[in-house]
Structure 1
Amino acid sequence: KIIDASIEPDIKASRPLKEPFPTIDNLQVFDVDVNLRRIYYVTESPVGVNISWFSMNNAENPRLILGAAKQKVTAEAFLETYYYISFKQDYLQNNINSVPLYRRPYWHAADIRHVSDMKLDWLTQKVYFTTGRAGKVMSVDSQGEHLSTIAAGDWTYALALDPCSGLVFWSDSGYKASGGLYEPRIERSNMAGGNRKVIVRESVSLPAAIAVDFRRVFSYSSLS
């Protein structure tokens, strides 16, 4: 259950008659958009993961962004084509034709079985999330139409964003399903997955939470 409460406990509620938010079954994590007054949240069930949001003024009517029930073609599933112009011996045929070039592999919502952490980029209205043992850092727009893989690792966990600097931070336990030594670490990249760097790899086990100090450009982590 998500509870709306004042951060000043001695101050009476400004809206004492406000109805509480409805109970959300199988709630995992949530984030708040203070500008648009929305709450984004993740639920899990045996059929998969759902990412949804609701308006604080209309909590009874959530909107599904990502989930097995939302069957949409994603940004990584588009069919790329190339175009060519047909020539005749004496003239240019006034037709432009297209043929399939190749189809890129993509992740479907039904492939995502778990979300470890989720954060909202309030500048672009994209939701970023980690997938645990699937080892992905992914993003999806608030309409649920464009699902992208930002980075692939071993076992991605905690997540933090710095939208003003265009950076995403995440932790990785370094656990490999194929065996081998653990390589726990904290990484960062830009919002599209480029300029990827490992920023912490010593004296860490499993960073369970990450926070970013925007002014000092520091990141803080909690170890489990």
Structure 2
Amino acid sequence: SFKHLNAKIIKPAGAEVNKTSNILLTPEFKKMGRQVAEVRFRIKENPQLAMLDIDDGAGVRQGAVYGQLMELGVSDRLARQWIAEHGEDYVAEKVGYLKGQKGVDSPVRYLSAALRDDYKSGPAETAKEVAPEVLAAAEARKAAEAEAARAAAAEDAAKARERTRRAQKLERIRELAGGRSPTQRDADKRLFLSRLEDEIDREEFRNRGWAAALLAAEMAAFWEELVPGAFEDLPV
């Protein structure tokens, strides 16, 4: 039936031609009685796509702007249409604007609106003059932070020197203890243990002997008393 022909063939074909070509088709029907006897098509220029006839797109497709549009997911036809309508410079400007935006869900739709409504970046803000007291406060804060950093560095260096000094003393203590006779070594340990008041310290010494780093100060004082000048040659 004609109804079926119109719905399945004529209308879809006309819509496709109007969408993708440089002409617009308008079907007209001539009836005889209640039946359609003739079909003819009126043809006129498609103002949106006629400009694409000027070039088959080969030249446009070589341009940088076209490549940027392709990266954004713009179709070939729409990319060529935008470039033909607005010019490459204008399209490039809006592509740059789009790339400066965050959280854009649909770049193609956003770019279409930017081209249509001429989206522009806001004017750059003029640098504001900073009050002298604000600058002075900032400089003072910066100086205080620098001084705190120097103090922290000095403290870290002092701690590092102390650790090195303690390690050297522990090594010297082991040398002194190793140079004693077995009888003297036992006596030295008993004497040192008797001077420790804390049971935890005594247990630490029983377990680690002269290698008990937690008791470095106490052991150094003990050996300095036992062997005067035992640590004088160590570097400060």
For normalisation by structure 2, the TM-score amounts to: 0.28
Higher strand content, 1 or 2: 1
> TM-score normalised to the size of structure 1?
0.29
